[in-house]
Amino acid sequence: MAISYMTKDGYNKLLEEVNYLESEKRPAISRQIAEARDKGDLSENAEYDAAKEAQGILEAKIAQLKTLISNARLIDESQINTDSVQILNKVTIRNTKNNQKVVYSLVSESEANLKVGKISVSTPIGKGLMGKKLGDVVEIKVPSGVLSFEIMDISL
């Protein structure tokens, strides 16, 4: 798995999620399995099958998060500047076709949340903006075609 760059906050959220899954969800599923097993014949026990499946999904999720954590590299936020677009910058871009302005914060994949304007540096728009400077006009290929953006502002 590739290295995943993230902030200290993002890293701590992953640790909290793993802790919650291991300390609360895992024991709850184990109890469900035990209760279903106590009901007798396992060959026709839908509750047991469902609990075992939930356990498999949970263990896969825990393993995935632990891999992400083990490949995490924390970003030194004191080294972030606004000379050119980089991870953790807030970038204001203007669509040159319709003049619509959008503000995005560039973050790691694990911290992306479009609802709050955080996009991953690995998305087409994120990749297209990285390294660009104030005033640059960037052509970015997206699934719906090619979009043209002017970089209006770069901030922290």
Mean pLDDT of the chain: 91
* CA-to-CA dists, residue 39 to 26, 45, 56, angstroms: 20, 8, 21
Closest CA to 4 of 104, 86, 103, 72: 72
Query: Within this chain, do residues 147 and 87 fall inside the same structural domain, yes or no?
Result: yes
Tell me the percentage of the chain whose pLDDT exceeds 90. 66
Q: Which domain holds residue 94?
A: 77-155
Query: Within this chain, do residues 70 and 84 fall inside the same structural domain, yes or no?
Result: no
Query: Within this chain, do residues 93 and 43 fall inside the same structural domain, yes or no?
Result: no
Neighbouring residues of 8: CB distance < 8 A, sequence distance ≥ 6: 74, 77
Cα-only R_g, the chain: 22
Residue 38's pLDDT is what?
87
Residue 1's pLDDT is what?
55
Rounded CA-CA distance 102/117 in Å is 9
Output the six-digit token pair for 78. 């004191």
Confidence band (pLDDT; 50, 70, 90) for 123? Answer: very high
Q: Is the pLDDT of residue 110 over 70?
A: yes
Query: Within this chain, do residues 70 and 131 fall inside the same structural domain, yes or no?
Result: no
